[in-house]
Amino acid sequence: MKWPSLLSVVCLCLLVHSACGTADRARRLFGGQLTLRVDVAPDANRDSPIAVDLLVVYDEGLLDQLISLDATQYFAQRRQLRRDRPDDFDWWSYEWVPGQQTQQLQLPFASGARAAIVYARYVTPGAHRVRVDPRTPHRLVLGSERFDVLPYDA
C-alpha cells in the first residue's frame, strides 16, 4: 500500500472512530472552553459578597486531593497549591455581590482536563464545592445559603 493511500485509510478510521462516541476523548485531547452562566441572587450569601474559584484540574492525584477539601480548607490553602502545583490546574477567581449582573464566562482550558471544581466562600457552614465536567455548559446559581450548578444550553 502506498503512503497516500495509507494516510487516507488512517484518516478515515480516525473520523469513524470519533463519530462513534469518542468525541469526549477527542475534546480532552485538544482542550476546550468551560462555559458558565452565573446568576447571583439578590440575597446571595446572606447579603454578603461571594468569592468563587473555578478550577480545571489536569492531574488525577491533585483532583483527588482537591475534591476532599471543602471551600474553607481550599481557600486557606489555595495560594500554596498554586505555588506547589502551577502546571496541574488552571484557576480563575471572582467575587460577586448579591444581585450583581454578570457576563457569561468562556474559560479556555488545555488538553488533558480531568474535571472542573467550583468553590464558593459562603458564610454558612457546608462543603460549598461542586465537581463538574468542563466540556459541558453550566449555570452557576449563587443563592442565599448555598449554590447550585445546573445544566445550561449556551
Encode pLDDT of 57-115 as tens digits: 999 999 999 999 999 999 999 999 999 999 999 999 999 999 999 999 999 999 999 99
Structural element, H or E, at residue 66:
helix 60-67
Radius of gyration of the chain (CA): 19
* Contact between residue 96 and residue 142 where contact means Cβ atoms under 8 Å apart: yes
| Side chain identity at residue 44, one-letter code | A
> Which grid cell is 18?
470519533
* Contact between residue 57 and residue 129 where contact means Cβ atoms under 8 Å apart: no
Structural element, H or E, at residue 45:
helix 44-47
**Beta-carbon count within 10 A of 94 CB:** 15
Q: SS3 of 55, please?
A: strand
pLDDT of residue 26: 47
DSSP for residue 102: -
Encode pLDDT of 43-67 as tens digits: 999 999 999 999 999 999 999 999 9
CA–CA distances in Å: residue 79 to residues 39, 91, 146: 27, 11, 24
Angle at 62 between CA 66 and CA 135, to 5 degrees: 80
Least confident span in 29-33, 35-39, 44-48, 74-78: 29-33
Question: Closest Cα partner for 99 from 38, 36, 40, 37?
Answer: 40
pLDDT of residue 18: 47
This model's pTM is above 0.75: yes
